[in-house]
Amino acid sequence: MQQGYTPPDFSEARFQDAPDARFVPAPADGVLPDDFFATSNLPIYVKAGGAWRLPSVPRMDGVIIQEGNSLRVVEGRYVRAGQPVAVGYAEDGSEGIFVNFAGFLAASSGTGEFQFMSSEVSREKPVDYALMADLLRAEKARGGHIVWVVGPAVLHSRGRDVITWFIQNGYVGALLGGNAVAVHDIEQALLGTTLGMDRSGRPVSGGHSFHMRAINQIARAGSIRDAVQQGVLTQGIMHACVTHDVPYVLAGSIRDDGPLPDTVTNTVHAQEMMREHATRATMTIMIATALHSIAFGNMLPAYVVNEDETLRPLTTIAVDTSEFVVSKLKDRGTHQAFGVITNAQDFLHVLRHFVEHDPVDAHQPGPTSGPAVARPATTAAASAPRGGAA
C-alpha cells in the first residue's frame, strides 16, 4: 500500500510554456463535444488562466467542465447544453491538461501510466494487518470518511459481529452493499439464521422462507429505521447503522427478493447515492462483493486532498477469496486497490485484533506531499439528484 505522492514541478519549462486547456460548449444536454477529454482517477491538472489547477470531484470516465472560475469533473449525463467541456487527447500537458501518471503508480507499474490489465494480486503476497490497522485508526482520528463495501458472504462467514463492532466503535463512515446484505443481517437478528442456515451452516426446517419472513417484518414496520425505533430490530449491522447514525446505501438488482423498503431499485439513483460517499471517501474497505466493489471503485479518485491542500493516496483495500475478483477490480481502473486474498471472516477478525491491540500509535496522518491546489469539493455534482441514506 503506497502512502506517498510525488507532485509535478510546474516550474519546468514544459509546463510554463504549455497553452491553456481548450473548452468547447456541449452541443446538447448529455452530449459531449467530439474531442472531449476523458478523465482517469489519477490527479489531473488543467491549465486555465495561466495557472495549473486540480478540478474538483475527480473520478474516472468523466469529463472536465468549466463553471466560472472553477473546474469540475462530472459524468457525461450531467453535462448541459452550452457548458464548456475540456477537449483534447494529450495527457502530457502539451494541450493544457496533465495527468500525473507517476505520482502514485511509479512504484507499482513498469511505466507509471494509467492502464488496464496491470494487476499484481496473489494469495501468497504478505498482508500487513498492522499497517491497515494504523491507517484505519488514523482516518478515524482525523475525522475521515471510511466507506465499507460489503457482500452477503460477510454474514455467512460469521463476520457480522465484527462489522457491527467496527460500526459501534466509529470505524465506519458509510456502509454500501446490496439488498442481500441487509436481508441476511436482519434474518439473523430476527430468526437466528442466514438463508435458513444456523450459525454452524446447517439448514433448519422451513428455513428457505426465513429471508422472506424477515423482509415481511421490515415491510410491516415501514423501513429498517422504523423497525429499530419500534423495537422489532434490536441487533446486528443494520441496527448498529441506525443507532450510530451511519448512512447506508442498499443498491438493488434484478435478482433481489422483496426487496426491503430501504433498497434503492432505481439503478441510476443508487449510483448517485453511492457517488455522494465516493466524493467524501478518505479510505475504502471492500469485502466479498465483486459487482459493488467494481461499481464503487469506478467512482473513486485515486487520491485524497489533505487539509493543507496536498494530496495523499486514497487507501483502498479489496478482500476476496479469489484473486480473480481483486484482479478484475484493479483491471477496471481501481489500480490503487490493495488486494487481500483471504476469507471475510479471517480478515475481519484479524483486522479487529490489530485495531484493538496493536500498540503502534497511528493517530497521526500518514506522509503527504504536494503543491497547494484548489481543493476538490466534497459533495456530488450540483446537477445530480441527491439522496440521503436509506
What's the pLDDT score for residue 107? 44
> Which residues make Cβ contacts (< 8 Å) with residue 85, sequence separation at least 6?
23, 24, 25, 26, 32, 33, 36, 37, 63, 64, 65, 79
Distance CA(113)–CA(109), nearest Å, equals 7
Residue 40 sits in which domain range?
13-105
Specify whether 175 is located in the same domain as 303: yes
Instruction: Tell me: do 215 and 287 sit in the same domain.
Output: yes
- Count structural domains, the chain: 2
367 assigned to some structural domain? no
pLDDT at 220: 97
| Inter-residue contact 118 to 109 (CB < 8 Å) | yes
Cis peptide before 247 (omega within 30 of 0): no
Strand arrangement, sheet containing 44-48? 51-53, 44-48, 97-99
- Assess if residue 298 is contained within a domain: yes
Are 347 and 198 part of one and the same domain? Answer: yes
The per-residue pLDDT for 52 is 97
Distance of alpha carbon 156 from alpha carbon 248, whole angstroms: 20
Residues 70 and 190 in one domain: no
Q: What is the average per-residue pLDDT within 359-379?
A: 40
**In the prediction, which pLDDT does 370 show?**
38
What pLDDT, on the 0 to 100 scale, is given for residue 91? 96
Measured CA to CA, the distance from residue 184 to residue 200 in angstroms comes to 15
Calculate mean pLDDT across residues 48-56: 96
Residues in the chain, how many?
Answer: 390
Q: Are residues 248 and 188 in the same domain?
A: yes
Q: Tell me the pTM.
A: 0.83
Instruction: Indicate whether 280 pLDDT > 90.
Output: yes
Taking the mean position of all CA atoms in its chain, how far away is CA 221?
31
- Mean pLDDT value of segment 70-84: 96
Co-location of 141 and 222 in the same domain: yes
Q: Please check whether residues 273 and 306 belong to one and the same domain.
A: yes
